[in-house]
Amino acid sequence: MRVERFITSALLLSASVLAQENRGTSVAPPAGDDSVAAELSSFEIADGYEVSLFASEELGIANPIAMRWGPRGRLWVLCTLAYPQL
């Protein structure tokens, strides 16, 4: 009984230590160039398709919390001054 408890404790401890050592960051490091042209050129697009920017922070869209396409094909974006802390 004591041996089983010791082995179980040792396995749990070693698993938690290994998990801590391999912990990576979940946020990518900032890119060197975050201009619109650099971002658009970073996409890999199949032949016959194109990517176009239709909304940006330069147009006043900041801290979007909801987006919805309207019946006439327009995109409605709900923005907030204080981003909600979930």
> pLDDT tens digits for 37-74?
888 888 899 999 988 887 777 777 778 888 999 999 99
The pLDDT of residue 17 is above 90: no
- In a domain? residue 61: yes
Give me the number of domains the chain comprises: 1
Residues 6+ apart with CB under 8 A from 79: 60, 61, 62, 63, 64, 65
- In a domain? residue 78: yes
Helix (H) or strand (E) holding 75: strand 75-79
What's the whole-model pTM score?
A: 0.41
- In a domain? residue 81: yes
- In a domain? residue 68: yes
- In a domain? residue 83: yes
Helix (H) or strand (E) holding 65: strand 64-69
Structural domain that includes position 73:
57-86
